[in-house]
Amino acid sequence: MAPRHPENLLEVLLKQCYLQPRCAAGQRRPLHVSRYTTQAAHEYHKPDSFAVLGGGISGLASAFYLSKKHPDKKITLYEQSSRVGGWVQSKKVDVGDGSIVFEEGPRTLRCTMPNGMVALDLIRQLGLENEILRTKKDAIAARNRFIYYPDHLVRVPGPGSSFFSILSAVIREPVFRESFTSILREPFKTVPSAAGEDESVGSFLERYTSTVLVNNLVSPLLHGIYAGDVWKLSVNSIFPMLPFLERTHGGLLPGALDLLFSSEKPALERDTDLIQHLLQEQPTLRGQLLEMKDTSVFTLKGGLGSLVTRLEEVLQQNKNVVIRKDAQIEALELNRTMDTIQLTTNLKDEPKPNHAFAISTLPAQTLAKLAPELDSLNDVHSVTVMIVSLFFNNPNVLPANGFGYLIPQSIPLEQNPERALGVVFDSDAAPGVDTAKGTKVTVMLGGHWWDDFSSYPDEEEGMRMARTVLARHLGIVDEPIANNVRLLKNCLPQYTVGHQARLGRTHRDLQTSFRGRLRVAGNSYGGVGINDCIRSAYDVAMLPTEGSYFDTYTGLNNLGPNPQWVKFKMVKRQVQVNTVTK
C-alpha cells in the first residue's frame, strides 16, 4: 500500500488552537507570535511620518499596511514615473466581438504558503475577492505543462499521472531518459559535501544526479520564475529546503525519505510564525484558504493590474496618504541632527523632505547608489525580459492545450536563436479574462541570455522574433489580429550564489548606518513574485516589536545566512514545534 501523504502545512495549521514549543519546556502559550504585534496599542515611540520609496506593488502594499496600522500618521509614497504599479500592468484592447487583456508583467498568482496567504488577504481587504478567476488543479492548464526538447513539446508528468504514463514518457522522450538513469545512480553515488557553503542550484543537484538532468529539467523551471541561469542562482536562497535536508540527514535522498514518511515536517520559522499570526488576526481567512485549496493559479477580472489600480484608489481616498508621482529620489541619508531620513528629490516644492521612518522598495542596485553605505547591494543585479503577447482569431491555433512550455538551457542556438525563455498559452492559463473568441499567447525573451547585450530589440524586432519562435516551435504562421510588446529592463533580480551573505551584510549596514530608520522590501531580497513582494511589504509595515519602533528590524532579519528552521507535527489536534539546530 502506498504511504499516506502527510497533512500539508496549511491543513495542519488551519486545525490548530495552540503552538506547543518543546524548546519552551512544554509550556503552553496562546497562538501568538511576538515578532508580529497583535494589539492595537503598543507603548513604543512611534514615528510621526513615513516615507515609502517606490510605487510598484511592494511600495503600494507597504503604504497600505502602514495606513492600516497608523491611520493618524502622514505617509508619503514617492514614485519616479507618471504611474504606479511597477511591472504589474494590464492593458485592455477591444478586438472583434469582445475584448482581451494583455498582461505586460506577471499574469497569475499561486495560493502558496505562506506568502500567498498574505496576497489573498490583501485582495480580501481591498474588496476584490469577487473578482478572482480561478484555474483549478484539474483544469487542462494545470495538468498540461510542457518543455521544448529537443525539437518538439514534451509534456511533463504532474500530480495524478499514472505509473504507466510516467514510464511511457521516460522510454519515449530523450529529455527524461538520462534523468531517470541519473536518479537511479544517486543511492550508489559518492556525493562530495558542500561543507555548508552556498552553491548554485545546478552545482547542488549535479552532485546528486547529472549535468544533463540539471540542464534539461531544472533550468527551464528557473527560466520560468527568475529568467535566470541554473548554474549561477543560489540554492540556499531559491530552494533552501534542499541544503537543509542534506545538512540534517547527511544526504538528499535520506532527507527526502524522512520528509515523506516522518510525522515531523520541517519549515522555516518565519513562515510558521506568519501563518499563525494571520490565522489569528484574520479568522475569515481560513475559509478563503480552504475555498482555494483546489486552485492551481488565479488572477483577477481585468487582469492583475486591477490589484494595483485598487490599491492606488484606496490610498488616494486616505487623507493621510500622499502619492508623489514623477518624484525622483536622488539621495538618501540619515540626518543625525534631526534623527530622520532625509531625501534629496527633484521636487521643487520640497527638495529635501525629512521623514522619521522610511521603507525602500527600490531595486537593490538603485538603493545602493542612493545610499553608499549599502554597497553590498551593488552585487544584486537584475536581468531584462521582453514580453511579446499575440492574439489570434483562430481559437484552435495551438497544437496542444495547457499552461505553456519552457525552454531548457540545453537547447542549441539553432533551435532558439531568439533566446526565448518560454511561451505561455494565456487562453488556457487564465480563462475568463478575455471576452473575445480566439487564442492569446505570450512569448518571453531574454533574461540571463541577454546579460552581455549592450542594446535590446525594439518592438518591431521583438514581434518578429516572437513570431519566428511560434512558427519554429509550434507551427503557428497565422497573422495575429492584436499584439503587445513591452521591454522590462532589469525587472528580475538574480539571487546568485552568496545572496544570503550579501543580505546579512546589508542587514548589519542598515542597523549601524540608519539606526532603525530605514527598512527594505521588494523583489530584490526574499522572492521575485507578487506574493513575495506583498509578504515583504506586510513584514516591514507590521513588524514593530515591543519597545521602540526604531528597533533592529530591517526587512532582512530572517533572510540572511543560517535561517532558523522548526519541525512541526500534529499531536491530539495541536501542533508541536521543535526548534532545529542550524
CATH label of the domain that carries residue 514: 3.50.50.60
Pairing of strands 565-571, 265-268: antiparallel
Place of cell 531559491: 238
Asked whether residue 421 carries a pLDDT value surpassing 50, the answer given is: yes
| Residue 580 or 97, more confident | 97
The SS3 of residue 175 is: helix
Q: Is residue 555 part of a domain?
A: yes
- Counting the structural domains of the chain, the total is 1
> pLDDT (tens digit, 9 = 90+) per residue, 73-95?
999 999 999 999 999 999 999 99
Task: Please tell me whether residue 490 adopts helix, strand or coil conformation.
Answer: strand
CA dist 554 → 55, 78, 239, 242, 544 (Å): 19, 20, 23, 27, 10
Residue 148 lies in a domain: no
Which residues constitute the domain of residue 529? 9-85+302-377+498-580
| Domain-located, residue 331 | yes
- For residue 47, being part of any structural domain is answered with yes
Q: Say yes or no to pLDDT of 275 above 50.
A: yes
Residue 431 within a domain: no
What is d(CA 75, CA 72) in angstroms, rounded to the nearest whole number?
A: 9
Tell me the pLDDT tens digit for each residue of 498-535. Answer: 999 999 999 999 999 999 899 999 999 999 999 999 99
pLDDT confidence bin for 36, thresholds 50/70/90: low
In a domain, 91, yes or no: no
How far apart CA 523 and CA 529 sit, in angstroms, is 7
Q: Is the pLDDT of residue 45 over 80?
A: no
Burial class, 189, CB count within 10 angstroms (exposed 0-12 / middle 13-18 / buried 19+): middle
Residue 259 falls inside a structural domain:
no
Handedness of CA 23, 24, 30, 33 (dihedral sign): negative
Residue 310: inside a domain: yes
pLDDT-derived band of residue 46, with 50, 70 and 90 as boundaries? low
Question: Is the pLDDT confidence value at 215 over 60?
Answer: yes
- From the CB of residue 174, how many other CB atoms can be counted at a distance below 10 Å? 12
| Sheet of strand 420-424, all strands in order from the earlier edge strand to the far edge | 153-155, 145-148, 404-406, 420-424, 439-446, 382-392, 482-493
pTM above 0.85, yes or no: yes
What integer pLDDT is reported at residue 562 of this predicted model? 87
Q: Could you give the C-alpha distances from 387 to 170, 227, 384, 409, in angstroms and in order?
A: 33, 12, 10, 19
